Amino acid sequence: MPTHHVDRRTLLAGAAIGAGALITPGPALARSGDLAALERAVMAGRDDSIRRIQEWIRTPAIAAENRDMQKGADYMAALARDAGFTDVEIVPTDGHPGVFGVLDSGAKRTLGIYFMYDVKQYDATEWSSPPIEARLVDKPGFGKAIVGRGAVNQKGPQATFLAALHAFRKAGRKLPVNLVLVAEGEEEIGSPNFRQIVTKPHILAALKRCEGIFLPASWQNSQGAVDVNLGAKGIIELELIASGEKWGRGPKKDVHSSLKAMVDSPSWRLVQALQTLVTPDGNTPAIDGWFDTVRPLSAREKALIAENAAHDSEADMKQGLGVPAWIDDLPFARALERLASQPTVNIEGLVAGYTGPGGKTVLPARAVAKIDMRLVPNQTRADCEAKLRAHLDKRGFTDIEAKVSGGYDPTETAEDSRLIRAELATYARQGVKATLNPRLAGSWPGAVFTSAPVSLPAGHFGIGHGAGAHAPDEYLVIDSTNPKVAGLEKATMAYIDFLYELAAIK
């Protein structure tokens, strides 16, 4: 039954008769003669694959809480060894360790794999199913799903990729490409030490042999569509802090608000500093020199955005976000161009003094703006941090602290790289609508790979569906009841097909 989409019943029927056709195989996979054996191995490994995701979720490592990080790294290393990686090592950093391993199958080409073994913090009281029990729960409209922290971000998709490797072992087949795995445990705190891992000489040498590097992902939407991002914005996350302590004016601790008549206010100082950072409409950074290195969109990038604007539903997007109008009432295509091309200075949060219900007559000693600044090529995090400091200093705000907690440079990956072309070919074969997006407005540590010295194409690949990253009730669909969305076995087979595609593509 060759079909692009199999629902759960079809899939289970297929398992029962040991038949293939979970996916439409690419020519390389079809020619290899491995298809039937690999499909059987994937089906036979189903219970192990589910258990692998669940057990990993039940072993949380949370960098932000310094929770079980060594255990998390050890567990990551064990998962890699079990899947066939050799030379697996825990790689120490100034922060939490990473994991490195290789899988040499004697193939011509090598592919890099990026994993994160840490997960975001969670508040168990907000979950309808306990966040580290990884229960199987019915998700109406999608099917049976594993609910737990890390289910989609990123243990579930990563374990699905590992399931593909186990299928090769079980089927006694050789991988069509060699693999290089680099994993970190600090993704959720902004990868502050990841560069230390990839620039270790032997790891860098291994990465330099790769065609590209990818992070397994399960981001099909309810229509089965995915994005292929040719890059991502960078980010700097920071707190701007005005305080009597640093200022040498105003109070060192909160005092009664009546004293405002004779005591300076750090809160007002923060407000005055903040308003210099953007244009009066709040929409364009006004930090000195901010646009000096900004590269405008290319004609090709604009064309891709216009195409996406024509296909996406602006009304749905506005409805989903609760946003009645874009900045300056821009038409959709122009708003999407802005999304891809414009650096931003955003206020994530404001915190000063009394924050409870009603009021309290205090003059706060400290005021904080939580800020994220999105960067575009060719801005760099280091240059932008220096420009922000210079901008504040020039205006006399030398006392206002810019406490950077993390960030990434922007990334770019060429549309004609083998990595991107193999992704597009694989998606096309599976009937998955893949939208070429010139630049993800979100950010990920990909710049560690795309910039020197690693300088590799980098992106995400995978089918299947999950949601709730950083939120309660995060999930990954295992048995899909949505014919447009892949379940666990089909997602596993798509990784296998992708590896063959990457091995064969011109």
The phi and psi torsions of 226 (rounded to 5 degrees) equal -135, 160
The CB-of-441 to a copy of itself minimum distance in angstroms stands at 4
Tell me: does residue 466 bind a copy of itself (CB under 8 A): no
CB 240 within 8 A of CB 368: yes
Tell me: does residue 367 bind a copy of itself (CB under 8 A): yes
Please give the residues from 217 up to 236 whose contact with a copy of itself meets the rule CB under 8 A. Answer: 233, 235
Please give the sequence-ordered ranges of beta strands (E in DSSP) within 56-205, or none if there are none. Answer: 86-91, 98-103, 110-116, 135-139, 143-147, 178-184
Say how far apart CA 347 and CA 345 lie, in whole Å.
Answer: 7
Tell me: does residue 2 bind a copy of itself (CB under 8 A): no
Closest CA to 388 of 271, 282, 276, 288: 288
For the chain, the residue count is 506
Among the listed residues 16, 310, 315, 325, the single contact to a copy of itself using CB under 8 A? 325
The CB-of-315 to a copy of itself minimum distance in angstroms stands at 15
- The one-letter code for the residue type at 501 is E
Site stretch for a copy of itself (CB under 8 A), options 84-92, 140-148, 367-375, 409-417: 367-375
The phi and psi torsions of 401 (rounded to 5 degrees) equal -80, 135
Tell me: does residue 361 bind a copy of itself (CB under 8 A): yes
Tell me: does residue 441 bind a copy of itself (CB under 8 A): yes
The CB-of-276 to a copy of itself minimum distance in angstroms stands at 10
Q: Which is nearer to a copy of itself, 37 or 278 (CB)?
A: 278
The pattern of x and - marking residues 129 through 168 that bind a copy of itself according to CB under 8 A reads ----------------------------------------
Please give the residues from 395 up to 424 whose contact with a copy of itself meets the rule CB under 8 A. Answer: 405
Say how far apart CA 139 and CA 142 lie, in whole Å.
Answer: 5
**Hey, which residues does 458 pair with through a beta bridge?**
213
CB 34 within 8 A of CB 15: no
The CB-of-373 to a copy of itself minimum distance in angstroms stands at 9
Among the listed residues 54, 342, 450, 480, the single contact to a copy of itself using CB under 8 A? 342
The CB-of-209 to a copy of itself minimum distance in angstroms stands at 33
Among the listed residues 1, 13, 64, 390, the single contact to a copy of itself using CB under 8 A? 64
Helix axes 35-44, 155-171, angle to 10 degrees: 120
**Hey, which residues does 313 pair with through a beta bridge?**
none
| Helix ranges restricted to H, 91-198 | 155-171, 194-198
Q: Which two tokens stand for residue 455?
A: 């300088």
Among the listed residues 102, 226, 304, 336, the single contact to a copy of itself using CB under 8 A? 336
Tell me: does residue 112 bind a copy of itself (CB under 8 A): no
CB 461 within 8 A of CB 111: no
Closest CA to 289 of 402, 377, 383: 383
Tell me: does residue 71 bind a copy of itself (CB under 8 A): no
Q: Which is nearer to a copy of itself, 422 or 440 (CB)?
A: 440
In the block, residue with structure tokens 């072309």 = 421
Among the listed residues 106, 140, 296, 358, the single contact to a copy of itself using CB under 8 A? 358
Closest CA to 229 of 365, 339, 108, 353: 339
Q: Which is nearer to a copy of itself, 74 or 227 (CB)?
A: 227
Tell me: does residue 443 bind a copy of itself (CB under 8 A): yes
Closest CA to 468 of 236, 163, 146: 146
Please give the residues from 263 up to 292 whose contact with a copy of itself meets the rule CB under 8 A. Answer: 263-265, 267-272, 274-275, 278, 280-283
Q: Which two tokens stand for residue 225?
A: 């569509």
Tell me: does residue 300 bind a copy of itself (CB under 8 A): no
DSSP string, 395-426: TT-TTSEEEEEEEE--EE--TTSHHHHHHHHH
Say how far apart CA 3 and CA 12 lie, in whole Å.
Answer: 15
The CB-of-120 to a copy of itself minimum distance in angstroms stands at 10
The phi and psi torsions of 410 (rounded to 5 degrees) equal -70, 160
Q: Which is nearer to a copy of itself, 206 or 339 (CB)?
A: 339
Among the listed residues 67, 170, 252, 389, the single contact to a copy of itself using CB under 8 A? 252
Closest CA to 20 of 40, 45, 6: 40
Tell me: does residue 392 bind a copy of itself (CB under 8 A): no
Tell me: does residue 394 bind a copy of itself (CB under 8 A): no
Tell me: does residue 25 bind a copy of itself (CB under 8 A): no
Tell me: does residue 261 bind a copy of itself (CB under 8 A): yes
Tell me: does residue 128 bind a copy of itself (CB under 8 A): no
Tell me: does residue 248 bind a copy of itself (CB under 8 A): yes
Q: Which is nearer to a copy of itself, 157 or 364 (CB)?
A: 364
